[in-house]
């Protein structure tokens, strides 16, 4: 996939955009995040910012109301995770496009103008992913798009790699990280938004997957640069965190049921079972019994809620415009070798304490 960039758009032709930020006790991140949004090179009258607050117990809400009065605050009565708060923000959004932005981020001045360009240049592009660098390692890729895997998840392209020419090429991508992702509002609503049964995790793979299945495209925009502290919203950077393990395992199973065709669903379940057994064994060997228990609990809860996914599968499959074979040809779904090579690379990368923190 080697296309996807759009021309620079004059200010008069820029669309109204709503940026949605989910927050839970993230007061320490808000000055940087909201401050960078104030500095955006984007017409003020076409920009709306909504902070959806998950019942924070710090002073996030009064701080924003005082220091950033132009930001609309939608306060929820409890912590609903990631999916529902973004959906709630989308319901009230005035923009033609939505941007889902984590609170632990900083955006560059030209970020939004660049991000919206490909979607304006090509009506089939309904979702745009930016180049995301680490906030504390600004020469290092956090994500430059990503590929979906047959086990229901995906991997971030370039994760932990040094930024360079390879990541400066615009193109199409399987999905974009929801820490900074633009999507057409009408598509997002027609597609049902983020699946609220997920709570959090793997919703970005699901959204990108549906975009491609329904006949649209997801663009990677390297000139839309932002910086990510990583897991400020979630609370833990460790991939072995028991809550993360549970959500990622269960939601990958959900993704397979909803989005794969019948043959690949069988393949995905078998490969996924092997992958999860390997992770379970590794957690036990390393003495991480809580993470091991999370894998088992994810399968148990998936079995209990399997019936809820079947109607969702019917909706997705009825709207399907591309076959799984075509998604493989397009490079949207990673081959088994690509997935295995990436897993090996991540194991080597995890030896660096920064990435396994």
For 16, phi then psi, to 5°, come to -70, 135
Which alpha helices (DSSP H) does the chain contain, by range?
30-38, 60-67, 83-92, 111-121, 185-190, 203-213, 242-259, 262-285, 289-319, 324-330, 336-349, 353-356
pLDDT reported for residue 245: 96
Q: What is the mean pLDDT of residues 217-245?
A: 84
Angle at 133 between CA 209 and CA 167, to 5 degrees: 70
pLDDT reported for residue 335: 96
pLDDT reported for residue 356: 52
pLDDT reported for residue 240: 83
> 239: helix, coil or strand?
coil
pLDDT reported for residue 351: 79
Q: What is the mean pLDDT of residues 89-102?
A: 98
pLDDT reported for residue 235: 54
Give CA–CA dist 199/89, Å, rounded: 15
Give CA–CA dist 275/44, Å, rounded: 48
pLDDT reported for residue 357: 43
Percentage of the chain surpassing pLDDT 70?
Answer: 94
The answer to whether residues 3 and 63 touch, using CB atoms and an 8 Å cutoff, is no
Q: What is the mean pLDDT of residues 144-157?
A: 97
Going by pLDDT thresholds of 50, 70 and 90, the confidence category of residue 53 is very high
How distant is the alpha carbon of residue 270 from its chain centre? 25
Of residues 67, 70, 58, 68, the one with CA closest to residue 23: 58
Cβ partners under 8 Å of residue 351, min gap 6: none
Percentage of the chain surpassing pLDDT 90?
Answer: 89
Q: What is the mean pLDDT of residues 226-241?
A: 74
Tokens of 157: 């392209």
Give CA–CA dist 275/247, Å, rounded: 16
Residue 234 has pLDDT above 90, yes or no: no
Of residues 48, 34, 44, 37, the one with CA closest to residue 94: 48
Q: What is the mean pLDDT of residues 74-87?
A: 97
Mean pLDDT of the chain: 94
The answer to whether residues 288 and 241 touch, using CB atoms and an 8 Å cutoff, is no
pLDDT reported for residue 350: 81
Question: pLDDT digit string (tens) for 296-354?
Answer: 999 999 999 999 999 999 999 999 999 999 999 999 999 999 999 999 998 888 877 66
Range in 163-167, 239-243, 270-274 with the lowest mean pLDDT: 239-243
Domain map (residue ranges) of the chain = 11-228, 242-321+335-356
pLDDT reported for residue 78: 96
Q: Which residue has the higher pLDDT, 352 or 277?
A: 277
Give CA–CA dist 334/326, Å, rounded: 12
Question: pLDDT digit string (tens) for 32-48?
Answer: 999 999 999 999 999 99
DSSP 36: H
For 96, phi then psi, to 5°, come to -70, -30
Tokens of 115: 């991000």
Give CA–CA dist 174/188, Å, rounded: 16
Q: What is the mean pLDDT of residues 57-80?
A: 97
CATH class of 11-228: alpha beta
Residue 232 has pLDDT above 70, yes or no: no
Give CA–CA dist 164/120, Å, rounded: 26
């Amino acid at each position: 996939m080697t296309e996807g960039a759009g021309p620079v758009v004059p200010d008069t032709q820029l669309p109204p955009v709503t940026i949605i930020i989910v927050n839970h006790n993230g007061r320490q991140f808000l000055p940087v995040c909201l401050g960078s949004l104030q500095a955006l090179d984007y017409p003020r009258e076409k920009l709306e910012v909504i902070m959806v607050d998950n019942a924070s117990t710090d002073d996030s809400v009064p701080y924003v109301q005082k220091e950033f009065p132009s930001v609309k605050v939608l306060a929820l009565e409890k912590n609903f995770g990631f999916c529902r708060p973004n959906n709630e923000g989308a319901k009230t959004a005035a923009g033609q496009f939505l941007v889902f932005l984590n609170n632990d981020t900083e955006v560059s001045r030209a970020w939004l103008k660049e991000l919206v360009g490909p979607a304006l240049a090509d009506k089939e592009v309904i979702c745009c992913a930016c180049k995301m660098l680490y906030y504390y390692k600004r020469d290092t890729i956090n994500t430059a798009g990503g590929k979906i895997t047959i086990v229901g998840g995906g991997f971030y392209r370039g994760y932990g790699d040094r930024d360079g020419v390879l990541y400066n090429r615009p193109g199409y991508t399987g999905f974009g990280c929801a820490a900074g992702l633009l999507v057409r509002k009408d598509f997002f609503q027609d597609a049902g938004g983020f699946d609220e049964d997920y709570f959090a995790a793997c919703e970005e793979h699901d959204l990108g997957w549906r975009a491609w299945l329904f006949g649209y495209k997801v663009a990677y925009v390297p000139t839309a640069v932002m910086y990510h502290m990583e897991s400020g919203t979630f609370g833990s950077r460790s991939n072995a965190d028991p809550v993360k393990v549970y959500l990622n395992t269960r939601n990958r199973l959900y993704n397979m049921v909803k989005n794969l065709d019948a043959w690949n669903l069988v393949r995905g379940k078998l490969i996924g079972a092997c992958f999860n057994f390997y992770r379970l064994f590794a957690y036990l060997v390393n003495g991480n019994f809580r993470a091991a228990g999370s894998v088992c609990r994810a399968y148990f809860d998936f079995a209990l809620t399997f019936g809820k996914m079947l109607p969702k599968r019917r909706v997705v499959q009825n709207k399907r415009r591309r076959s799984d074979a075509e998604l493989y040809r397009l490079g949207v779904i990673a081959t088994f070798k690509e997935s295995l090579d990436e897993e090996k690379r991540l194991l080597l990368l995890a030896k660096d304490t920064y990435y396994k923190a």
